């Protein structure tokens, strides 16, 4: 039987978010080991914070993540943690490469991000269910 919901301390949830982070100036920097470093750091952070990685893949200038997260978490806090920690890690390990790409130290990701909730049912199904209560 597939476990559909997570139960913790008087709450039951199944929350997934699709995140996309883009490199600053859309520079194709997720190459030559930087992509592997980012994935390893994200995996480490997700284990630490108990976020489950459903899917993760990089392209040359962005990364896609699909995460399960706890109902007590905010997506903006998850994004902040992931972007801040991966940037720090990349600058520690790839300083010589990155200093030629960015004139400001410790910049890697663009300021914004894409986030979209992913559910088990469609919006139309949920609307129909709610409208037909009582």
Percent of the chain at pLDDT > 70 equals: 96
Q: Which domain holds residue 96?
A: 6-131
Q: Give 1's pLDDT tier (boundaries 50, 70, 90).
A: very low
pLDDT of amino acid 2: 58
pLDDT > 90 fraction of the chain, expressed in percent and rounded: 70
**Per-residue pLDDT at 62:** 95
User: What average pLDDT score do residues 65-79 get?
Assistant: 95
pTM (2 decimals)? 0.88
Residue 5's pLDDT is 79
Residue 41 within any structural domain of the chain: yes
Could you read off the pLDDT of 13-31 as tens digits, one per residue? 789 999 999 999 999 999 9
pLDDT at 45 exceeding the cut of 70: yes
The CA distance from 121 to 14, in Å, is 11
- Cβ atoms of 79 and 19 within 8 Å: the answer is yes
The 10s digit of each residue's pLDDT in 86-130 is: 999 999 999 999 998 998 778 999 999 999 998 777 777 777 876
- Containing 65, the helix (H) or strand (E) segment is strand 62-69
- The DSSP annotation for 83-94 comes to HHHHHHHHHHH-
The domain tally of the chain equals 1
**Beta bridge mates, 68:** 16, 52
d(CA 36, CA 90): 10
1 part of a folded domain:
no
Q: Is the dihedral of CA 109, 114, 117, 120 positive or negative?
A: negative
Take residue 116 and report the two structure tokens written for it: 């979209």
- Residue 92 sits in a domain whose CATH number is 3.30.70.1290
């Amino acid at each position: 039987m597939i476990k559909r919901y997570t139960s913790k301390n008087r709450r039951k949830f199944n929350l997934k978010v699709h995140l996309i982070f883009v490199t600053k100036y859309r520079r194709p920097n997720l190459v030559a080991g930087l992509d592997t470093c980012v994935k390893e750091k994200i995996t480490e952070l997700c284990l630490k914070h108990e976020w489950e990685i459903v899917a993760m893949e990089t392209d040359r200038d962005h990364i896609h993540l699909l995460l399960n997260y706890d109902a007590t978490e905010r997506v903006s806090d998850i994004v902040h943690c992931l972007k801040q920690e991966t940037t720090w890690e990349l600058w520690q390990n790839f300083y010589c490469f990155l200093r030629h790409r960015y004139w400001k130290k410790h910049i890697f990701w663009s300021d914004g991000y894409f986030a979209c909730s992913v559910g088990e049912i469609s919006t139309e199904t949920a609307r129909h269910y709610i409208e037909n209560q009582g």
